[in-house]
Structure 1
Amino acid sequence: MNGDQNWQNEYPFTSRWHEADGHRYHFISEGAGDQTILAVHGNPTWSFYWRNAVQRFRDTHRVVAVDHIGCGLSDKPQDYDYCLETHAANLGRLIEAEDLRRITLLAHDWGGAIGLLALTKHVDRFERIILLNTAAFPPPYVPWRIGVLRCPVLGSFAIRGLNAFAGPAVTMAMSRQSLSPAARAGLLAPYKNWADRVAIDGFVRDIPMSPSHRTWRSLENLEAALPGLSHLPAMFVWGMKDWCFRPECMDRLQKSMPHAQTVPIDDAGHYVMEDAPEQVLGAIDQFLNREVPVS
Structure 2
Amino acid sequence: MTYSYNLNRDPLADCDGTYPFTPHFTDAPGFAMHYVDEGPHGGETVLCLHGEPTWGYLFRLLIPVLSSDCRVIVPDHMGFGKSATPLNRSYWLQDHIDNLERFVLALDLREITLIMHDFGGPVGMGLAARHPDRIRRLISTNGPTPFGQSSLGDRLSANVVVSPWFQWVVQAEKDGSLEAVLGQLGFNILSTLKLNGFENHALITDTWLAAYGSHFADPSDCLGAIGWAKGFATGAHQFEVPNAEAIRMIRTKPAMAIWGESDRTLHAEHFLPLFTELFPDAPVHRLAGVGHYCLEDAPNEVGRLIADFIYRN
| TM-score, L = length of structure 1 | 0.88
**Equivalences for 1:209-228 in 2 at 5 Å?**
213-216=235-238, 218=239, 221=241, 228=249
Deviation of 1:229 (Å)? 1.5
Secondary structure in structure 2 of the residue aligned to 1:190: coil
Contact 1:11 1:51 in 2 (8 A): yes
Q: C-alpha distance in 1, partners of 2:67/2:13?
A: 25
Distance 1:5 1:229 in 2: 37
Two-structure CA RMSD over aligned residues (Å) = 2.4
- In structure 2, the CA distance between the partners of 1:110 and 1:89, relative to structure 1 (3 Å rule), is same
Q: Partner of 2:33 in structure 1?
A: 25
For structure 2, list consecutive stretches of 5 or more residues without a partner in the other structure. Answer: 1-11, 147-151
Deviation at 1:167, TM superposition (A): 3.7
Q: After TM superposition, which residue ranges in structure 1, 4 or more long, deviate above 6 angstroms? A: none
String of CA shifts for 1:65-101, please: whole Å, max 9, x gaps.
0011111111111231111111111111111111111
Aligned mates of 2:258, 2:55 — CA distance in 1 = 19
Match of 2:4 in 1: none
Paired residues of 1:227 and 1:256 also in contact (CA < 8 A): no
From 160, 164, 172, the equivalent of 1:149 is 172
Aligned with residue 232 of structure 2, among 188, 207, 214 = 207
2:32 is paired with a residue whose SS is strand
Distance apart, 1:247 and its partner CA: 1.0
Deviation at 1:255, TM superposition (A): 1.9
Q: Which of residues 113, 122, 133 is equivalent to 2:142? A: 133
Return the alpha-carbon distance in structure 2 between the equivalents of residues 223 and 165 of structure 1: 41
Whole-angstrom CA distance in 2 between matches of 1:44 and 1:208: 16
1:119, 1:126 within 8 Å by CA — same for their partners in 2? yes
Give the % identical residues.
Answer: 27
The 5 A counterparts of 1:63-78 are 63-78=72-87
Aligned-pair distance for 1:271?
0.6
User: Within the alignment, does 1:168 sit opposite 2:168 as a pair?
Assistant: no
Distance 1:80 1:50 in 2: 26
Aligned equivalents of 1:110 and 1:104: distance in 2?
A: 17
How many aligned positions are there?
Answer: 283
- Following TM superposition, by how much is the alpha carbon of 1:256 offset from its aligned partner in structure 2, in angstroms? 2.6
Decide whether aligned partners of structure 1 residues 208 and 151 sit closer, same or farther in structure 2, where only a CA change above 3 A counts: closer
CA distance, structure 2, for counterparts of residue 85 and residue 9 of structure 1: 34
Task: Give the Å deviation of 1:44.
Answer: 0.2
Q: 2:48 aligned to 39, 44, 48, which one?
A: 39
Q: Which amino acid aligns with 2:77?
A: H
Tell me the TM-score normalized by structure 2. 0.83
Equivalent position SS for 1:280: helix
Name the structure 2 match of 1:272: 294
CA distance in 2, matches of 1:235, 1:72: 27
User: What's the counterpart of residue 16 of structure 2?
Assistant: 8
* Counterpart code for 2:132: V
Structure 1 gaps of 5+ residues are none
Shift of residue 191 of structure 1? 1.6
Paired AA for residue 22 in structure 1: G
